Every structure is written in structure tokens, then in C-alpha cells.
Structure 1
Amino acid sequence: MEKSSIFIHKKLFARQQAPASPFRVIVRKEVGDHIRSWRFIVMLLLILFTFIGAMYVSLSNIRQAVANSSDPDHLFVYLKLLTTSDNSLPTFHIFISFLGPLLGIALGFDAVNAERSNGTLIRLVAQPVYRDNLLLAKFYGALLVVGVLFLSLVLLMIGGGLLFTGVPIEWAECLRMMAFVVLSVVYVGFWLSLAICLSVLFRYAATSALTAIGIWLFFTVFYQIIVNMIMRSIVPDTAYLPEESVISFNNLFLSLLRIAPSQLYTDAATTLLMPSVRSLGPLTMEQMAGAIPAPLPFRESLMIVWPQLTGLIAATTACFALSYWLFMRKEIRT
């Protein structure tokens, strides 16, 4: 017994003295740098203020929204906190679709070129650290900060709703809110991976930041205008078209709009937070015949938004793979 206890004690002592892996060390360093940086503090305050404003408007109108008995979602009180508004302020997921890309760009636009400019990149690669671990740790550290931020905001919203309404939360609402958190993290992760890719591609942080903001402005503002102009030039008026042609035209229009990441996120967030949404495209009268006005189960709502979610994950993976390929081919000198 004494020999076995001494052996276990030696093993535990060896585990305590064992050095942490380079990946974990870099992740802790990145998380600490992000939390202490002024740009993250500014983005945190901006998102927090918009969250407080959206929740104040929702709590002010929640009684009237719940009293609407014709609404099939009248039992989902906490989902209404994220979707109810009096048109004075947008809902919270609309704010996230606008501010989320800025958060991802702010956390990743100088992930690599700042290390190169400060002269610390050559010291990092000189250590027994693989390049893929370095790049993956920077992405994972920033994504961990974003995930904790969104999860904290949702939990804060649940606590505020519980104090204000006194209604216990349902399991279906918890599942939809956790899915909304995952969706928001994936959406911000796309812009984070794009910003990291640009930080590898360009030498200076200002160039990568301006390029990322330009891409964000194009997809947020100008892309929908360009698609509208192209579709109107093809079909000026759909009033004289048969029903099948109108549905095909609308499906093509929505497919072109969904190239933008913000449109994918908005469609998926709306479907997850509003169980009454049954489709993200036009439906015929035959398809609507016999439909019961009841909220969809979480599984069916998840099946509807699965193409949007996989599209965001694929875009994030493609951007990170491109940044990995560029970083592995990059020559690092003093």
C-alpha cells in the first residue's frame, strides 16, 4: 500500500510539474490580450449598450405581445424578448448581424501582421511551436472570447426576463437560444477568419483592416442594391407572369441574396427565434393547404436553417484554410 501511494503521489507531482502545451499557452495569451485591449472594450461597450436598449424595448412591449392570443408563439416569452420591438429600435439579432462582423474584424485584422511588425513572430516560430498551432490558437482564442460574450448576454437576458415576468423558461426556448448563440459565434467566426486571412496576406494592419471593412460594407450595403438592379433589368414587372414563374423568380432572387453572410445569418436567426416561421422561401396555395397554425418543433426549425448554418461553416473553413495555406508559404525573416 505504501509503495502504491508513493507511486501515485509521484505521478501526480509529475503531472503538476509538466509544462503546458504550446497551443494552450498561446490561447491563454491571446485571450488575455483581447480582454485587455481597448478595441475589445469599445466593442464590448457598444454591444452591451445595444443589448440593453433592445432588451428595454422588448420588456416594455412584452405584456402586449404575450396578450396577443392569435400569435402561435404566445407561450415562448423569452424568445419574444429577442424578437419583440416597437420599431423604435431593431431587435437584438439585427444588431448582431450589423455589429458582429465589426467584432470579428476587430479581433483578427492584426493577428499575424502585428506580430511581424513588432518583431515577435520570428521569436514565436523559433520556439518548438508549429505554424498551424500558432494560427489555430489565434483563431480559437478570439472565438472563445466571442462565445463567452454571447453566452453571457443570453444568460443575462434570461435572468432579466425571469425577474421581470416571473415566467419559468421552457426547454424548447433554451434549445433555441443555445442554437442562436452557436449561430452567432459561427457568424462572427467567419469574419474573424476572413480578418486573419487578410492579416496574413497584407503586411500592414491598416491595410488588412480597411480591406475587411470594405468587404463588410459591400455585402451589407451595396450587394443587395446590385442584386435588385440586376433582377429588375431581367424582369421589370412580375405582375404579368404566371405563378410558377413568379416563384422561380423569387427563389432565384433569394438565392442570390443568400450569398451575403448577413442574409444567411438573418434567415437562420429569424427561424430559430420565431417558431412560427415554416419556410424561408415563397410557398404556393397548395403547399399552405391544410397547414396547422402551430409553432414548429426545434428539430424541424433546425432542419430549415441547416443550409444557412452549413454555408457559414463552409465559408469560415474556406477562409481559415486559405489563411493557413498563405501562412505556411510565408517566408518569415528578421
Structure 2
Amino acid sequence: MKAIIDSLKSHSSTSSGVQPHPFWVMVRKEIADHIRSWRFLVLLVLVVLTFWGTTSVSMANLRQVVGNANDPDSLFLYLKLLTTTEGSLPPFHVFLSFLGPLLGISLGFDAVNSEQQNGTLTRIMAQPVFRDNLLLSKFVSALTLVGSLLLSLSLLMIGGGILITGVLIEVEELIRILGFTFLCTIYVGFWLGLSILLSILFRQGATSALTAIGIWLFFTVFYQIIVNLVAEALVPAESALSQQAILRYNELLLNLLRLAPSQLYTDATTTLLMPSVRSLGPITMEQMAGAIPSPLPLKESLMIVWPQLSGLIAATVLCFALSYYLFMRREIRS
């Protein structure tokens, strides 16, 4: 943080020439700190190795799935690179549902409490900067870094696919892959906002990190088990229910499961990367009658995925809004 303070001092003391805004000075310094930190480098290596492993498996099995008449998604070559698996490794978007929260938590669990423990928070606030710029710079810098990483991996996959197969990517595939990248960035941004919120609530970085990991494990592992146990205890056997009651029961169960961010992410990525997915909820045999197995247009897939995307954005904004409220009312001199 000494570099930030020196940059802010030079910015305030220079009266001539075009100077960058203090907010962007802090953003650039936060990005540089993340890039030089060992925890980000370790997670970067894990994400890159995971991407390389899943893409290699997809490339090796691409001939078996492309052109398959029983698969309506077989025409989308580059989407198959993100979804094809042979069973030894899950697809990349499944891996990212586990690595994404760890990436967001690692970038934000000590964003504020470490500054206060090191005594740099009061020194930064003594400079001509607004308090909210400090919090916003930490969120924007980490989210920019994550978005750049995921976009680079997606473009690398597209470029490698063109060099190996010689097939140009379609516009719809490109939009779906870019939408997948944006969705993954928002998903990581939720855990980043939650970890920043916990770094404001707790003074110790270890406490905020353990709390964030505990919340992630609860929603990833235990939440689905709890929902299923409660539903089985309160609802009678499905054989005693009518068809409409079973549909309402399954719809209620899915809505409860979608309170977990991981479920929203899974539903959204499945819809974007598999155009043949027509619905994320239970459907009757009458609704399936006469349906031809074919890919949905991009507009229809976006309409299906919009509630999940809105939920992730709303949860991210809520976490950051709570962080903003608590940080603006916090006494930083103690």
C-alpha cells in the first residue's frame, strides 16, 4: 500500500498535466498486488491446468461426438469442447463451479481487515480519496482480473480449436461462449463480494476465510441434502400424489434448490453451453408430445437463462451493498 500512498501524494501535489483519477491508481495497484501474490498464482495454475486437462479430453473424444445424429448439439463444435467428457474428468464448467468460489474467496477474504491490521487503512484515508473508492477499487480490480483470466482461456480454446480442426467458429457459438465467460465472472464476483463483506465484519483474516469457506461448503454439499430431507419428511410418497401435485412438488423443490448460487450457475451454464436444453423445470408428457429434438435459438436460450443470471447479479449487488453500508459507517481509526 506504500505505492498507493506515494501515487496519491504525487497526484495531489501535481497541478499541471493530465493525472489519473485516484480510483484508477488504486485499481492498478490492487491488480499488481494480486498478480504478485502466491495464492493467486497457485489458483491460476489450478484453473489453467484444469482447463488444459478438460480441453485435451474433449479434443481426444471430439470425433466420437461431432456428427452424432442422436445428439442435437453435435453441430456446435466449440461448445462441445467445453461440455464433452469421457468420464475421467468432468467438463470445465463443472470444475469451475468448485474452483470459482475458491478464487473469489482468496481474492477478497482479507481485503479490508488486513489493511486495518497493518495500519495502512488510516494512511490511505488521510489522502484526498473518498472512502467508497477504496472498497470499490478492491472489488473492481479483483473482478477485472478474474474476467480477463476467463476471457483469455476462452479465446485460447477458440484459437486452439481453429488451429487443430480448421473449422471457423459460428457467431452463435461465439456469443454463447462469451455469455458463459460473463456468467462465470458474475458467479466468482458473488463469492468475491461475500468475502469482502466478511472481511469487514471480522477483524481477523483467518476468521473471514473460514467463514466464507464454510458458507461455500454449506451451499455446495449440505444445502441440497437438507432440502431433500425436509421435502421427504413433509411430503407424502409420490405414488399417493396426482400428476399435477407431483409437478408442483418438483417445482417447489427446484425453487428451493435455486436459492444456492451453485445451482443458479449450473442451470445457466447448462442452458448456454447445451442449446438442446429446452426447460430447466419439470414438464409433462403432453408438453413433450410432438417436440422435435433440435437446438434452441440463442434468443430462446437467453430467455431461459435470464432468471438465473438476474439472481446471481442481484446476490452480488446485495453483498457489495451490505459491504458498502458497513464500511461507510465503520470507525477506521480504532
Percent sequence identity over aligned pairs: 67
Deviation at 1:242, TM superposition (A): 1.3
SS at match of 1:147: helix
- Indicate whether 1:65 and 2:72 are aligned: no
Aligned to 2:284: 284
SS at match of 1:74: coil
- Indicate whether 1:187 and 2:187 are aligned: yes
Q: Distance in 2 between matches of 1:313 and 1:74?
A: 31
**How many pairs align?**
321
Deviation at 1:15, TM superposition (A): 11
**Structure 1 residues 183 and 15 mapped into 2: Cα distance closer, same or farther (>3 Å)?**
farther
Per the normalisation by structure 2, the TM-score is 0.94
**Structure 1 residues 59 and 236 mapped into 2: Cα distance closer, same or farther (>3 Å)?**
farther
Q: Distance in 1 between matches of 2:108 and 2:132?
A: 16
What amino acid is aligned across from residue 198 of structure 1 in structure 2?
L
Aligned to 1:275: 275
Q: Distance in 1 between matches of 2:161 and 2:134?
A: 41
Aligned to 2:50: 50
Gap runs ≥5 in structure 1: 1-13
Gap runs ≥5 in structure 2: 1-13
SS at match of 1:111: coil
CA contact (8 A) 2:67 2:75 kept: no
What amino acid is aligned across from residue 38 of structure 2 in structure 1?
W
Aligned to 2:150: 150
Aligned to 2:113: 113
What amino acid is aligned across from residue 40 of structure 1 in structure 2?
F
SS at match of 1:296: coil
**Structure 1 residues 34 and 75 mapped into 2: Cα distance closer, same or farther (>3 Å)?**
same
Q: Distance in 1 between matches of 2:195 and 2:326?
A: 13
SS at match of 1:114: helix
What amino acid is aligned across from residue 258 of structure 1 in structure 2?
R
Aligned to 2:6: none
Aligned to 1:127: 127
Aligned to 1:39: 39
Deviation at 1:71, TM superposition (A): 1.3
| Deviation by residue 1:270-305 (Cα, 9 ceiling, x = unmatched) | 000000000000111222223232211111101101
Aligned to 2:243: 243
| Deviation by residue 1:16-37 (Cα, 9 ceiling, x = unmatched) | 8222111100000110001110
What amino acid is aligned across from residue 97 of structure 2 in structure 1?
S
| Deviation by residue 1:92-147 (Cα, 9 ceiling, x = unmatched) | 00011111000000000011111111110001111111111111111000000000
Q: What RMSD over aligned residues (CA atoms) do the two structures have, in Å? A: 1.4
Q: Distance in 1 between matches of 2:239 and 2:62?
A: 39
Q: Distance in 2 between matches of 1:292 and 1:218?
A: 39
User: Counterparts in 2 of 1:295-334, with a 5 A limit?
Assistant: 295-333=295-333
Q: Distance in 2 between matches of 1:196 and 1:236?
A: 43
What amino acid is aligned across from residue 250 of structure 1 in structure 2?
N
SS at match of 1:239: helix
| Deviation by residue 1:11-67 (Cα, 9 ceiling, x = unmatched) | xxx998222111100000110001110000000001111111111111111110013
User: Counterparts in 2 of 1:157-306, with a 5 A limit?
Assistant: 157-306=157-306
**Structure 1 residues 156 and 16 mapped into 2: Cα distance closer, same or farther (>3 Å)?**
farther
- Greater shift, 142-151 or 49-58, is seen at 49-58
Aligned to 2:18: 18
Q: Distance in 2 between matches of 1:97 and 1:281?
A: 21
Per the normalisation by structure 1, the TM-score is 0.94
- Greater shift, 53-62 or 282-291, is seen at 282-291
SS at match of 2:278: coil
Q: Distance in 1 between matches of 2:114 and 2:124?
A: 13
What amino acid is aligned across from residue 199 of structure 2 in structure 1?
S
